[in-house]
Amino acid sequence: MKYEPLAIADVVLMTPDVFGDERGFFMETFRQHEFEQHCAPLQFVQDNHSLSRQGILRGLHYQLQKPQGKLVRVVSGEVFDVAVDLRRHSATFGQWVGVYLSAENKQLLWVPPGFAHGFYVTSDSAEFVYKCTDYYNPGDEYSLQWNDPQLGIDWPLVQARAPELSAKDQQGLTLAEAPGYD
Ligand X SMILES: Cc1cn([C@H]2C[C@H](O)[C@@H](COP(=O)(O)OP(=O)(O)O[C@H]3O[C@@H](C)C(=O)[C@@H](O)[C@H]3O)O2)c(=O)[nH]c1=O
Q: Which residues bind ligand X (CB under 6 A)?
A: 48, 50, 58-59, 61, 70, 117-119, 136, 166
Shortest reach from residue 112's CB to ligand X, in Å: 13
**In the complex with ligand X, which residue's Cβ is closer, 50 or 174?**
50
**Side-chain half-sphere CA neighbours of 18 within 13 A:** 12
CB of 48 to ligand X, least distance (A): 5
CB 115 within 8 A of CB 84: yes
User: What residue type is assigned to position 152 of the chain?
Assistant: G
Cα dihedral 94/100/103/107 (nearest 10): -70
Q: How far is the CB of 84 from ligand X (least distance, A)?
A: 11
- Interatomic CA distance for residues 102 and 156, integer angstroms: 14
Catalytic residue among 62, 120, 130, 142: 130
Residue nearer to ligand X on the CB measure, 94 or 132: 132
- Specify the residue, 25 or 136, whose C-beta has the smaller distance to ligand X: 136
The active-site residue, picked from 33, 61, 120, 135, is 61
Comparing CA positions, the residue from 115, 111, 38, 123 lying closest to residue 74 is 123
**CB closer to ligand X out of 137 and 174:** 137
Instruction: Tell me whether residue 130 is one of the annotated catalytic residues.
Output: yes
**Helix and strand counts by DSSP (H, E) for the chain:** 2, 13
Residue nearest to ligand X (CB): 136
Cβ 133 to ligand X shortest distance, Å: 11
Residue 106: left if φ>0, alpha if ψ -120 to 50, beta else—which one?
Answer: left
The question of whether 136 is a catalytic residue gets the answer no
Active site residues: 61, 130
